[in-house]
């Protein structure tokens, strides 16, 4: 990155925090040193939580805050550390009191074998060394390492003593270059990371995508997509993608439609809801203002109009996507369509217009269904047996494929938290949240906490309302894991 760009970021962050930026952090760090001096080696669980709060203390525009390293030192991880007081007190004492060369080797051993200091992650051990000599050592926070990586062109990790020492050496050189104090480095490098984090565009699909292109866009195996296409083109021309929330059902349906349809203009999407009716989908009477008052006219629904278009263009193919199809009364919405989907060469007389109607062979119907709302087995059997059922469960492989090629993304965090939740809820549970919750271009610790707090935890609370203790346990484990992988 050009030097001027970094200088502008440094100035912007300093303006954001105010003139006491460094002084407030120096005072907060001195308070942590005093706390360690009084209680080192004899802390109880409550004092460990207090330590985490003090580590997070700093100031911003004259206001005291406790979010400097959130969530790395928040209650969840510190509570977990307090569960093994002997290990915590022994390891913190070594990192704080041993001669610097010995403390460095202790840190290297912790990074190489995490079970030596369980749940401490990479930030707490390095923070203790940083407090001993801020000019020499850095704090291994994921955002800081990524930001420095943009500056140096190097990828950093907390895996060994050698990787930590390389990070510290490059951090010292960068601070010297831009005149950055040790206390402000983490905030400025986090801003550098955010400045450079550009969304990775999904591959642009052509007008009619091939199977390989659909698979790449969905991060699925080509063989799996090819089986779907074979099922739709050699048998029933309708299918429903079913799975829990967050498994990409609508995204997959839209990309598959780009393969099946001969043109993007030949794809229609509707979303069902409890008020959606036969009149909206096939045909019905609609009021029409006239000079004499109000009249009622027969108006074709969205699916009937698509079929009329397809009938006039037999050399093309058309796709109707029905999102959230199980939210409507399907038997009422589909009506005689249940018969016509199975017998494409037959005609029936529609009840309102009295015109003869059929579903052309060049029309495909793709639906999506959230199994957390309603099981596939609960659908009307006459409807269910007329649709191919394509399952889309939570899939760690999809998430791992998506993270490839995104070097700034904390893939370990995304996959780790997804895996933990899936294991606790049950991999085959119809409510197990899917992988796409974690497929966000700006995933860091703070984003992961927001996803958990505002999307997944409320969702699981609804389905675990009779098991609050289980949800509380999972809540603590998720927050601890986020802190450890941050």
What is the average pLDDT value for the chain, to the nearest integer? Answer: 89
If you average pLDDT over residues 64-80, what whole number do you get? 81
Say how far apart CA 463 and CA 425 lie, in whole Å: 10
Residue 209 has pLDDT above 80, yes or no: no
If you average pLDDT over residues 321-344, what whole number do you get? 90
Give the tens place of pLDDT for each residue, 141-165. 888 998 999 999 998 989 999 999 9
SS3 state of residue 139: coil
Residue 424 has pLDDT above 50, yes or no: yes
Q: If pLDDT is split at 50, 70 and 90, which confidence band does 57 have?
A: very high
Structure-token match 């996959």, residue found: 415
pLDDT of residue 1: 42
If you average pLDDT over residues 329-355, what whole number do you get? 91
| Angle made by CA atoms 290, 295, 301, in degrees to the nearest 5 | 110
Residue 202 has pLDDT above 60, yes or no: no
> Are residues 376 and 369 in contact, defined by beta-carbon separation less than 8 angstroms?
yes
Q: If pLDDT is split at 50, 70 and 90, which confidence band does 447 have?
A: confident
The percentage of the chain sitting over the pLDDT mark of 70, rounded to a whole number, equals 93
Q: If pLDDT is split at 50, 70 and 90, which confidence band does 199 have?
A: low
Domains of the chain: 3-196 (no CATH), 211-391 (3.40.50.300), 396-485 (no CATH)
pLDDT of residue 281: 95
Structure tokens at 144: 């800081």
If you average pLDDT over residues 235-239, what whole number do you get? 94
- Three-state SS annotation for 180-244: CCHHHHHHHHHHHHHHHCCCCCCCCCCCCCCHHHHHHHHCCCHHHHHHHHHHHHHCCCEEEEEEC
Q: If pLDDT is split at 50, 70 and 90, which confidence band does 392 have?
A: very high
More confident residue, 337 or 429: 337
Q: If pLDDT is split at 50, 70 and 90, which confidence band does 2 have?
A: very low
Structure tokens at 361: 């062979």
378 Cβ contact partners less than 8 Å away, ≥ 6 residues apart = none
Helices (H), 82-160: 85-97, 100-112, 123-132, 142-152
Closest CA to 433 of 371, 367, 366, 368: 371
Beta bridge partners of 389: 240
Say how far apart CA 143 and CA 413 lie, in whole Å: 12
Q: Which helix (H) or strand (E) holds 81?
A: helix 75-81
Q: If pLDDT is split at 50, 70 and 90, which confidence band does 396 have?
A: very high
Residue 3 has pLDDT above 50, yes or no: no
């Amino acid at each position: 990155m050009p030097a001027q760009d970094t200088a502008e970021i440094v100035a912007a962050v300093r303006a954001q925090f105010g003139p006491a930026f460094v002084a407030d952090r120096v005072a907060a760090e001195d308070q942590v040193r005093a706390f360690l001096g009084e209680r080192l080696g004899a802390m109880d669980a409550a004092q460990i939580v207090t330590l985490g709060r003090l580590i997070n203390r700093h100031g911003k525009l004259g206001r005291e805050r406790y979010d400097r390293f959130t969530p790395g030192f928040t209650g969840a991880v510190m509570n977990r550390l307090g569960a093994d007081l002997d290990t915590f007190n022994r390891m913190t004492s070594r990192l704080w009191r041993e001669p610097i060369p010995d403390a460095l080797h202790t840190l290297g051993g912790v990074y190489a074998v995490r079970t030596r200091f369980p749940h401490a992650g990479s930030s707490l051990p390095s923070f203790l060394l940083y407090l001993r000599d801020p000019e020499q050592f850095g704090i291994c926070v994921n955002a800081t390492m990524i930001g420095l990586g943009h500056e140096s062109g190097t990828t950093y990790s907390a895996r060994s003593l050698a990787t930590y020492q390389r990070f510290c050496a490059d951090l010292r050189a960068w601070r010297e270059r831009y005149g950055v104090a040790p206390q402000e480095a983490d905030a400025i490098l986090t801003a550098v990371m955010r400045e450079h984090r550009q969304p990775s565009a999904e591959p642009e699909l052509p007008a009619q995508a091939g199977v390989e292109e659909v698979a790449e866009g969905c991060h699925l195996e080509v063989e799996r997509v090819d089986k779907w296409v074979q099922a739709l083109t050699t048998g029933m021309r309708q299918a429903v993608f079913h799975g829990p929330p967050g498994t990409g059902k609508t995204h997959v349906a839209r990309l598959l439609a780009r393969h099946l349809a001969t043109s993007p203009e030949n794809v229609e999407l509707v979303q069902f809801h409890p008020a959606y009716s036969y009149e909206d989908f096939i045909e019905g009477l609609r009021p029409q203002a006239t000079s004499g008052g109000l009249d009622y006219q027969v108006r074709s629904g969205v699916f009937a109009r698509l079929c009329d278009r397809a009938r006039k263009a037999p050399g093309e193919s058309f796709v109707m996507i029905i999102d959230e199809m199980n939210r409507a009364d399907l038997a009422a919405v589909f009506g005689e369509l249940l018969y016509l989907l199975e017998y494409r060469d037959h005609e029936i007389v529609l009840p309102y217009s009295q015109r003869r109607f059929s579903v052309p062979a060049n029309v495909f119907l793709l639906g999506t269904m959230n199994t957390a709302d309603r099981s596939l087995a609960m659908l009307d059997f006459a409807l269910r047996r007329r649709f191919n059922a394509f399952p889309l469960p939570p899939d760690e492989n999809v998430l791992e494929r998506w993270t490839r090629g995104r070097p700034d993304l904390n893939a370990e965090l995304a996959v780790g938290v997804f895996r933990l939740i899936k294991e606790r809820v049950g991999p085959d549970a119809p409510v197990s949240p899917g992988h796409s919750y974690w497929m966000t271009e700006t995933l860091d610790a703070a984003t992961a906490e927001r996803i958990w707090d505002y999307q997944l935890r409320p969702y699981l609370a609804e389905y675990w309302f009779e098991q609050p203790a289980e949800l509380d346990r999972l809540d603590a484990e998720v927050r601890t894991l986020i802190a450890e992988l941050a």
